[in-house]
Each structure stands twice: as C-alpha cells, then as structure tokens.
Amino acid sequence: MKSRQIPYKIYLSEEEMPRYWYNVKAHMKIQHEPFLNPETGKPCTKADLQPVFCDECIDQELNTTDERIEIPEGIRSFYRTFRPSPVVRAYFLEEQLGTCAEIYYKFEGSNTSGSHKLNSAAAQAYYAKKQGLKSLTTETGAGQWGTALAMASAFYGLNLDVYMVKVSSEQKPYRKEVIRTYGANVIPSPSDTTAAGRKILEEFPGTGGSLGCAISEAVEKATTTPSCRYVLGSVLDHVLLHQTVIGLESKTALDKYGITPDVIIGCCGGGSNFGGLIAPYMGDRLQGKNDIEFIGVEPASCPSLTRGKYAYDFCDSAKTTPLAKMYTLGCGFMPSANHAGGLRYHGMSPIISRLYHDGYIKALSVEQSKVFDAAVSFAKCEGILPAPESAHAIRVAIDEALKCKQTGEKKKILFGLTGTGYFDLAAYKKYNDGEMSDYIPTDKDLAKGFATIPEIKA
C-alpha cells in the first residue's frame, strides 16, 4: 500500500476560490481564425452577434488580450453554493492497477446538475439578467447543461426553453424531469416547433437528433422571441473561459503539495471542460514554463479531432450560426445514438482546435465498450459512478497509468471527472446486460458529413 502523505481530497477554502477567469488566448502565439458572418463572409462584429448572445459574453468572446477577466461578485456568490470542488488522489485506482503513477482527478459532479456545466450556466444567466432580458434558450445533449442552466435561470429569475437531443430525452427521462422541476420547458429535438426542426425531420425522418439540430432550433427560438437570447453550453470561447475555474482550482490545490502534472486528460465534446481544465497549465506551456502532455479524448462514434477536417463550418445543422474554423465532421454529420450524449457534437472548440492544430494537444478516440469497462472499474474502487462522458477521460488515464506500470515511470496524471452517471443507468444497464455496441462511422458516413462543409478559405 502506498504512503498517503497527500490527502485523498484536497479542498480549498471559499476564500481561495478564483476571483478571475483565465483567458488562455492572451498567450496563444497564433489566435484561432475569427468567426465569420455567413451572409457577408466577413469576420463577425459585436453587432452581428448581439441578436443571438448576451452583450457581456460577446465582449469575452472577442477578448484576446486580457489574461485575467474578473468574476463578478454576483456570480461568485452563486459559485459558493457548489464551489470550490476537490482534487482527489485516486489511491484505490492506483492500487487496483498496480501502477507507480500518481493519479489525480478534479471532481465537478457534486452539485445538483451533476457536472461542471453550472460554472458557465451561472455566468451566462447572470449576464442575461444584468442586461434586462426575460428569457433564454439553449440546447442540451446528455442533459447536464440543460439541468445546469435550468438551475441558474431559476436562481436569477429567467424563463428557459431547452431543446434536448431527442435520443437523450428518451434515454434519460428523469434528467428531463429535473430540468422541468427547476421551471424550464423541455422540447425533444428535432421538433415541429421550429422551421429548422421541421426541415431536419423532413430530411432525416425518425432521427434521434444531434446537438447541431438542437442548436438550430434554440437559435431560431431566441432570435424570434422578444427580450430573449441564446446561450451555449460548450464550444465558444467565453464558455471555455468560464470553465477555467476548474483548472485554476486544480492548480492552486496541487501547488499546495508541490505537484505539477506530467499528463492532463479530459473528455472532449465541444471542448469547454477540457479547455477549462488545461487553461492555466497551457498558458504556462505557451510561455515555456512546463512540458505537460495534454490529451483530449473523444468517442470513436463522433471523432471530430481524430478524423475530422480543420475547416470553416457552421456550428449548427440548419446553417444559421456564424462560421467557425474548427475540427469538424461537417454540420450535416448525424452521429450514432451512443450513450455519451454530451460528446455527440460535429465540431470542436476553436481554441482547442487551434492548439491541437499547432501541436500542443494530443487527441485520442475510444470505443464505447472500452469506456464503460473503465467506468465500472473506477466506480468499484473509487466509489463514484461516472458519467459516460467523463469515463472517456478515465479510460485514457487508466491506459496511461498502465504504461507507467510497464516502463516504471512515476508520472503524475490529472484528469477531469466532469460529472456523475446517476441519470445514465439505461446505459449502464446495456453494459451490464452485455448489449452495448460500439458505433464507429465508416469513411462513407464521414464523407456525407464532409460534403456539408462549406467551401471557404481561411
């Protein structure tokens, strides 16, 4: 048994909670390409984005110079209800694997939403209320973002419509009920309530939907409703910015014990939680202060980084949003109905895409059955049932620790445990019953998605 001079859980006090978000773009030698207005083909201005997003979020989106952006007290006060969150030393997992590696994870699942999503939901709802708006719209995949935004909207007194990916709303009916309990309206997407939804249903009858479909409907609803804006749970720069509280708390906690990770691992859907975890460490890396290996993990069924193209593409399926330069499978790509609903997005954060393109990040894709093998192993020894999304990071953390077992390297591994899987029991039932399949798109499937990427030069 290993010596346990480092506690199982490293907690920060409320006074040690971050007072600023960390803007990694301030240290990026090459910024990601600007968002483009699809009507003009020119870089988006604040005026272009104002019909869709809250003003303060747009300012944060366009900020490439300020390393620190202050967290208003009105957000910090809400953060105190669920932050700071602990960094945990996975002693029992280390012992189970027989590895000489040290494994740490940042646990973001102790709030009612069950995930990290509340970090940005609180911020975006606060800014909407400050602007005098009455309502918000959004999409949700696995339901964690929808739950988080429902909580934040209730706290700040805003109405909310949530377009939930249809297959997830069917797989997770109780997640849907938590969202409704907090006062939000849930619409399975694609639906017949919007022009975008009706068009998608006509083209893909019987589809289980995707995040791209749900985004299209939510944006349409927001832009046709007075005193309403659309808020996004991942992908965009300001969402990643809000999630940097994860990395900042991790760094503060580990610094107390003189620990600098050798490897940092996170699951990747849209990229905000992974980006938030690595941001302060990546900022140091960009300044030549460390040589950490950063690994983003995505599902083999929706492999935007590992099999996608780096190109300008629409962020939604109906082609109504600004164009983003990102790794993408094509806005028309319809992912398989896997159980990691929060990772079923055709594109990737422009920040993560740029850093990956420039060689600062490594990406891996893993099959669903291997993800659940890791999830169950982790649950049995660490006592937390992880969300399928988080289990992608667990899978690769285990694999990295087993490499250390073979080589004798005593690496320090940090991964993000973004949420719990207590609303994912249908998925665990499939696994326990031996009925879980691995969905991997063929080259033909990918070609269909790639055909929907517009012809735009950087």
What is the secondary structure of 78-117 as a DSSP string?
HHTTT-S--EEE-HHHHHHHT-SSEEEEEE---STT-BTT
Cα maximum dimension of the chain: 63
- Identify any residues that bridge with 185 across adjacent strands, giving them in sequence order: 161
Give the pLDDT band of residue 454 (cuts 50, 70, 90): very high
Tell me: pLDDT of 338 over 80.
no
Rg (CA), the chain: 20
Q: What is the mean pLDDT of residues 391-395?
A: 97
Q: Is the bond preceding residue 84 a cis peptide, omega within 30 degrees?
A: yes
Give the pLDDT band of residue 239 (cuts 50, 70, 90): very high
Q: What is the mean pLDDT of residues 277-283?
A: 98
Helix axes 173-181, 144-156, angle to 10 degrees: 10
Q: What is the mean pLDDT of residues 70-97?
A: 97
Give which of 339, 335, 334, 316 is closest to 326, Cα–Cα. Answer: 316
Share of the chain above pLDDT 70, in %: 97
pLDDT digits (tens, 9 = 90+) for 131-140: 999 999 999 9
pLDDT score for 413:
98
By the 8 A CB rule, do 453 and 308 touch? no
pLDDT score for 137:
97
Tell me: pLDDT of 70 over 80.
yes
- Identify any residues that bridge with 165 across adjacent strands, giving them in sequence order: 189
Tell me: pLDDT of 274 over 90.
yes
pLDDT score for 302:
92
What gap in Å lies between CA 236 and CA 189, rounded to an integer? 21
pLDDT score for 456:
81
Edge-to-edge strand ranges of the sheet holding 87-89 = 9-10, 87-89, 102-107, 412-417, 263-267, 293-299, 362-366
What gap in Å lies between CA 34 and CA 17, rounded to an integer? 32
pLDDT score for 458:
54
Give the pLDDT band of residue 334 (cuts 50, 70, 90): confident
Give the pLDDT band of residue 249 (cuts 50, 70, 90): very high
Q: Residue 61 is inside which H or E element, if any?
A: helix 55-61
pLDDT digits (tens, 9 = 90+) for 2-22: 556 899 999 999 999 999 999
Give the pLDDT band of residue 337 (cuts 50, 70, 90): low
Tell me: pLDDT of 102 over 80.
yes
Q: What is the mean pLDDT of residues 335-363?
A: 86
- Identify any residues that bridge with 263 across adjacent strands, giving them in sequence order: 293, 413
Instruction: Tell which wins on pLDDT, 147 or 317.
Output: 147
pLDDT score for 210:
81
What gap in Å lies between CA 118 and CA 420, rounded to an integer? 14
pLDDT score for 72:
98
Instruction: Tell which wins on pLDDT, 181 or 210.
Output: 181
pLDDT score for 424:
87
pLDDT score for 391:
96
Tell me: pLDDT of 457 over 70.
no
Tell me: pLDDT of 439 over 90.
no
Whole-structure pTM value: 0.94
Decide: helix, strand or coil at residue 391: helix
Residue in the structure block whose two tokens are 């749970």: 233
Q: What is the mean pLDDT of residues 84-95?
A: 97
First-last CA distance in the chain: 54
Q: What is the mean pLDDT of residues 256-262?
A: 97
What gap in Å lies between CA 180 and CA 178, rounded to an integer? 5
By the 8 A CB rule, do 128 and 158 touch? yes
Give which of 359, 402, 373, 364 is closest to 94, Cα–Cα. Answer: 402
What gap in Å lies between CA 226 and CA 223, rounded to an integer? 8
